[in-house]
Amino acid sequence: MSNFPYKVVVGLEIHVQLCTKTKMFCGCAVEFGQPPNSRVCPVCLGMPGVLPVMNKQAFEHSVLVALALNCKIAEFTKWDRKSYYYPDLPKNYQISQYDLPLGANGFIEIPLDGGRTKRIGITRVHLEEDAGKNLHTAGNFSQVDLNRAGTPLLEIVTEPDMSSAAEVRALAVELQRMVRFLGVSVADMQKGHMRFEPNINLVITKDGSEYKTPIAEIKNLNSFRALERSVAVEEQRQLDEFLETGRVMGMGNKTTRGWDDAEQTTVLLREKEEAHDYRYFPEPDLVPVEMNERWLNDIKAGLCELPIKKQMRYVNEYNLSDYDAGVLTAERSTAEFFVQVVDAGGEPKRVCNLLTQAGLKLANEKVCSVAELGITAGNLAELAKMIEAGTVSASAGNTIMQEMVKSGAAPETIAEELNLMQKSDTGELETIVDEIIAANPKAVDDVKSGGKKCKKAHGFLLGQVMQKTKGQANPQIVSQILAEKLN
């Protein structure tokens, strides 16, 4: 381990597949999970003489994200050819944006511990087409599926402003929430909709001088866990290498590395290419894009309150914990449904518990959002009121919510049908408490003694009453009755 102080420097490249119906420069459908090479045409196959046509919606989605990232939107941008040969890119170049991206010089706020935030600079936001996918599962040869080739792909490049693996993860999570809130991407990482490529190096202070280790880029990470873990592992690898070799940053020693999840290590893939290696030049078959004020205002109309702002507002306005507010704002529809239920009279914390516990579990089972379960805001507010008033218990509330999804019936009707109403009649409960006290003199003595066994004994007596009433007694009232009779 090093005795020298050092800091980690991380910038992140994020690729986001946009949820358009068709590809970036042709009319092929964008559909996941279709038979290999069934969503292709002469344009995305790179046949001679074909001409691309820009997908306007993809460009508007990209500008919307750039606006949310506080970027300056370019009034004029052009398309460029990025030349390289790979089997998954049949025309041997990718149509991208090089020196004139559609958005630049922005920032994003990411949440840190303790309710703090940190501003991370956004260098650029540009639009390009995705490549296909190489498959290596058929034996001792590879296959190529070009269904993904030509899919609209948004690239977001941050400044190297992150200084820990945790911050890198926080930014990735926040970006996923953002693009989902804006409705521009499903951002399902298991389907390759969102991929991360961190660029990492260290600044080490030794003998009064600073030394910078060579930058390493880790390619194509498709989970938050892999992203966070790979950054932490690469940090240690670079530190060990510096201590062993003293190697520092210089011309031509950037590297591209992969992540081996099984071995929990990064592996060298190749020396990192420089921009000139791609031989960029303007795309001759596409006209430049000119943004005017009217078009920009139309796109701005699609902006909404972004998740981190909504999360902070829920903490301040509804007195929720930062964690609860974060869970609620993971999806826009859930966040908006929460407000509808609170506006209908539900107590915020109680509504939050119903949505984040029973609601999310049910939504996962049905593969839908909480707002799509079929429960009305009014009915869920009534259920929250019933739990708050002690008419039903919290656990019974979860059962009632499940039945509400199945039948759509009102919560009170379900509670009566399933005999889940709590007994709150003090006269009836006093009689039962008296019976339990008479049958358990040892526990009564322990409560009255006030010693270490007092709390446990009180809980035992409460449990006996709940058992006697088959869980229908209101535990708060029973506890009050016990306290009055035993104190």
Question: Per-residue pLDDT for 290 more than 90?
Answer: yes
| CA pair distance 259, 275, nearest whole angstrom | 23
- Report DSSP letters for 409-455, one per residue: --HHHHHHHTT-PPB--HHHHHHHHHHHHHH-HHHHHHHHHTSTTHH
Confidence band (pLDDT; 50, 70, 90) for 67? very high
Tens digits of residue pLDDT in 337-368: 999 999 999 999 999 999 999 999 999 999 99
Confidence band (pLDDT; 50, 70, 90) for 370? very high
SS3 state at 175: helix
E strand spans, 112-221: 117-129, 133-135, 143-145, 152-158, 194-206, 209-212, 216-218
Quote the DSSP letter at residue 137: -
**Residue where the block lists tokens 């200084």:** 163
- What's the pLDDT at 484? 76
Q: pLDDT exceeding 70 applies to what percent of the chain? A: 96
- What's the pLDDT at 273? 61
Question: Per-residue pLDDT for 185 more than 60?
Answer: yes
| CA pair distance 100, 291, nearest whole angstrom | 13
Measured CA to CA in angstroms, residue 325 lies from 173, 329, 342, 434 at distances of 14, 6, 14, 44
- What's the pLDDT at 445? 78
| CA pair distance 476, 487, nearest whole angstrom | 16
**Residue where the block lists tokens 């045409």:** 41
Tens digits of residue pLDDT in 147-179: 999 999 999 999 999 999 999 999 999 999 999
Comparing 86-90, 228-232, 438-442, the range with the smallest average pLDDT is 438-442
Comparing 67-81, 101-115, 255-269, 417-431, the range with the smallest average pLDDT is 417-431
Write down the pTM of the prediction.
Answer: 0.84
Q: Which domains are delineated in the chain?
A: 6-297 (no CATH), 307-417 (no CATH), 426-486 (1.10.10.410)
Confidence band (pLDDT; 50, 70, 90) for 14? very high
Question: Per-residue pLDDT for 423 more than 60?
Answer: no
Strand partners, 259: 266
Between β-strands 133-135 and 117-129, what pairing exists: parallel, antiparallel or unpaired?
unpaired
Comparing 263-272, 303-312, 466-475, the range with the smallest average pLDDT is 466-475
Question: Per-residue pLDDT for 238 more than 70?
Answer: yes
Strand partners, 77: 289
Dihedral of the alpha carbons of 398, 401, 405, 406, in degrees to the nearest 10: 80
Question: Per-residue pLDDT for 207 more than 90?
Answer: no
